[in-house]
Chain A
Amino acid sequence: MNADSSTAYDRDSAASKGLALCHSCNRVDRVESHHCPRCGASLHLRKPDSLERTIAYAAAAVILYIPANLLPVLRLEAVTGAHQNTIVGGVIEFWQSGDYPVAAIIFVASVMIPILKLFAIAALCVSARTGRFPRAMTRLYRITEFIGRWSMVDVFVVAILVAVVQLGGVLSIHPGPGAISFAAVVVLTIFAAGSFDPRLIWDAAARHETRAS
């Protein structure tokens, strides 16, 4: 691929005119300025090493996803006996006790969103190469960025339960190692989505258009 800006970037874009959008304050300025004259952030035409960083964060998240689901997130000791909960175990427990709405909420936040988010990131990385369906993919990017934080809910549940039952006595609650892996998965997928640059999709789409015509 030619590094010349007239072919590397789509021709309706700011980048093809040598203009960079400040990622911090959204001001448009010439990229040769290096730093935004308004807020001082460094200027780039595209997020640097966007795809490499996104893939690295997502790969780390996939690996940690295994201990996050196999290890217990919570250890509960009551008079009736001690038991451990994994993420999925917590969902099943709510389901069996008839709390269907809660079971559904935790299932969506803790099981579905992380998996869907990883698939979405994979699809985005592919479309940054192929440039297919740019509008739909940009929308997918926006959704991916927005929903990721809700997976943190299970980590907060652990923190709250540990805090409220701290005296011990009849009931005691301790966090499990799965909680750390799970929190790491959530943070890594947030970083992965944050390092992805959706403008790459439009660049790729423009490249394919010029090749076709």
Chain B
Amino acid sequence: MRPTGVTTRSLACHDCDALFSAPVMKEGERVICPRCGANLFINRPDSLQRSAAYVVASAVLFFAANIFPFMTLKQEYRSNQMVLFQSVTGLIHQKDYAPLAILVAIFTLIAPTLLILGLLYLLLPLMRRRRLPGAVALCRLVSTARRWQMLDVYLLGVLVSLLKLGKLATLTLGTSFWAFAALIICLSLALGSIDLRELWARIEAAK
């Protein structure tokens, strides 16, 4: 990286733009903006190893959540199994509701897939201080995908749906539901284990 003088050690608050020089930090310490109280940087212990481990777990769980049945509906003599992606395809089959299907696809399938695969592609090589081609562009994509994934909100939607249909039919939860619930925990641990600023600094330093 080309040297840019004093600015590489400067830290600016993303919420109030207060400028100061970055302090030297020990593991577990955090920098809080003295003026507005924003969390600027958290130096997580074993950040890379932990987040990589949680991302690998998330990838396995995301795969499981997408292949096993999510919910089963029983009404009288019929039963109907639903797979996760059918909350997208179900809407496509409804006339005029393709825009809604696209939104649900972005929030529950596309953004999580980009996030999980993107983090795998970034974090695993970083453990050997390497970066693969396209790492910079991908890291920007990952931080966008992180804002638009709504797996946790979807889970709340599942719980509301269970209660809404509970009086008309019997709903049972499948293997995929439990994988999905575990996925939400693993993914938030993966994202919480490494600060995005640290990820960028490591990508910058990697070869």
**A-B CB contacts (within 8 Å), total count:** 204
Stretch with Cβ within 8 A of B (4 or more), from A59-67, A114-122, A164-172: A164-172
> Are B165 and A165 touching (Cβ within 8 A)?
yes
Which A90-129 residues have C-beta < 8 A from chain B?
A: 90, 94, 97, 99, 102, 105-106, 109
Interface size class of B (residues with CB under 8 A): 35 or more
B100:A155 contact, CB within 8 angstroms: yes
Given A40-B136, A105-B156: A26 and B37 interface contact (C-beta under 8 Å): no
Residue B127 lies at the interface, judged by CB distance under 8 Å to chain A: no
- Complex CA–CA separation, A102 to B78 (angstroms): 28
Find A142's partner among B7, B11, B38, B153 (CB 8 Å cutoff): B38
Residue of chain A at shortest CB distance from B81: A164
Where chain A touches its partner, the secondary structure class is helix
Residues in A with CB closer than 8 Å to B36 are 134-135, 138-139, 198, 202
Contact call A38/B80, Cβ cutoff below 8 A: no
Residues of B near A90 (CB, < 8 A) are: 164
B1 with A157: CB separation less than 8 A:
no
In the complex, given contacts A19-B10, A21-B14, A156-B158, what are 20 additional A-B residue pairs having Cβ atoms less than 8 angstroms apart? A13-B17, A14-B17, A28-B19, A37-B2, A39-B200, A40-B137, A99-B163, A102-B163, A138-B36, A152-B150, A153-B156, A156-B104, A163-B91, A164-B82, A164-B161, A165-B80, A166-B82, A170-B75, A175-B94, A202-B18
